Amino acid sequence: MDTRKLNKFTTCGGCIAKLPQGLLKNALGNIPAFSDPNLLVGFDTSDDGAVYQLQDDLAVIQTLDFFPPMVNDPYLFGKIAAANALSDIYAMGGQVKTALNIVCFPEDEDPAILGAILRGGAEKVQEAGGVLCGGHSINDKEPKYGLSVTGVVHPERIMHNNRCRFGDKIVLTKPIGVGMVTSAYKVGEASRESYEQAVAGMQTLNKYAFDIAARYRIHSCTDVTGFGFLGHLNEMVTNDYSIRVDSRQVLYIPEAWRLAEEFLVTGGGQKNRTFLQAKVCFYNVPPAMEEILFDPQTSGGLLISVAADDATALLAELNTLELASCIVGEVVERAEHNIVVYG
């Protein structure tokens, strides 16, 4: 099995392959509205999963995610894709219960490659404490893999993405810059060290960070994927408040700065910039840092809105994990822009 050539099938992989936010919002406007008192979270708030209440103390979370490979190793690709799909359950405050595979694969390729992808995904479902129950596959020239995941949550403990409170601190639980690093590594422009940092983050379940955060007064949560740090932070904002970011506190893979300065950026990052240009303003932020903040992430960390008095303790406990977390900003009174970024 040639594990070095998985990327030969793809032009872009991971969450970089997501459709741009503007296109999605226009398309969703054509879907009829559904009215059901038990539908607690639908697609109207761009949240991480749908939540449907079954009993007074029980609701199910449903989500799915899949994409083309962003790494050459099929086994590693399976782990990353699964970790990314499972993340939505944690972002909603839930526990993983079951998962189904979603597979696209060329029928004339080595089945051992597909087997390695599926093994990687199954191991991540197992690590999450869930059960892999089956799935669906189709013949496709471009491999794609992911999961449909079902989780459970108490209706009163759902984590919405837009329930921040004034004064809350915003915590990020994984360094960013993954999109630029993996894309540059694919064409020989990034170091092995940076690539391994990106891989370590992408295959780490957000379960561990959320298990810690759940012990504190957290008010909102989402995960950072293809719309980048700023795109997903923007989804946490409402008309009642804005979020102020100190870009000097945002952790990123160090080589991402050089890649940004050399314009080794992704098309997905530029789509994110276009969509957000009227929603975000920058003050004294270096251009390279702007690119890092727009960079699409695959299986990125959580953005958590936590009560200010709990933020320091939460950060200290999160930083006992292998991946570093950081306090990146705070919830402030409504400003002209959704997000104000300072350098």
pLDDT of residue 249: 98
**Rg of the chain (C-alpha set):** 19
Say if residue 3's pLDDT is above 80. Answer: no
Q: Residue-wise over 68-106: b if at least 16 C-beta within 10 A, else e?
A: bbbbbbbbbbbbbbbbbbbbbbbbbbbbbbbbbbbbbbe
Report d(CA 5, CA 78) in Å as an integer.
15
Whole-prediction pTM value? 0.92
pLDDT of residue 4: 46
Secondary structure letter of residue 332 according to DSSP = E
pLDDT of residue 35: 81
Q: Closest Cα partner for 174 from 3, 49, 299? A: 299
Report d(CA 241, CA 180) in Å as an integer.
31
Positions marked active-site: 15
How high does pLDDT run on average in the chain? 92
Percent helix, strand and coil across the chain, each rounded to 5?
35, 25, 35
Mean pLDDT, to the nearest integer, of 36-60?
A: 88
Higher pLDDT pick, 155 / 44: 155
How would DSSP label each residue in 85-131?
Answer: HHHHHHHTT-EEEEEEEEEEE-TTS-HHHHHHHHHHHHHHHHHTT-E
How many CA atoms, within 13 angstroms, populate the side-chain half-sphere of residue 130? 32
Q: For residue 1, what pLDDT band results from cuts at 50, 70 and 90?
A: very low
**Residue 187: Cβ within 10 Å count:** 9
Given a contact cutoff of 8 angstroms between Cβ atoms, the answer to whether 129 and 96 are in contact is yes
pLDDT digits (tens, 9 = 90+) for 135-146: 999 999 999 999
